[in-house]
Structure 1
């Protein structure tokens, strides 16, 4: 079984620039850098949606038991 979980050791953030339902740019970095990138993309693409979210990690629960 595979599940998506927030890994507390993983503090990275994912920034995405959206054109409608399509991602046209994606960047992953530590929080301070990701916030700077989000601000730059928001200025550059003022009419587009720019999101920032924690990176999630896929974990295979069966692999954790081995």
Structure 2
């Protein structure tokens, strides 16, 4: 099954929530929305590591095939 997803813009940020070494949530959005999501997840899941980084640009090895 193919899932269509929006292509991230160069300014987008990727927020990931980690349980140990496993990503359990992955969210990509414009910086204000990504920061708001990160803040909410940090309050709700204080014991989990939550990272925010630039979204992978198109054509990079980290970009997912969507």
RMSD: 1.5
RCO greater where, 1 or 2, for CA within 8 Å and sep 6 or more? 1
Runs of 5+ unmatched residues, structure 1:
1-8, 61-66
Question: What is the TM-score normalised by the length of structure 2?
Answer: 0.72
Runs of 5+ unmatched residues, structure 2:
1-8, 61-66
Which has the larger helix fraction?
Answer: 1
Question: What is the TM-score normalised by the length of structure 1?
Answer: 0.72
Of the two, which has the highest radius of gyration? 1
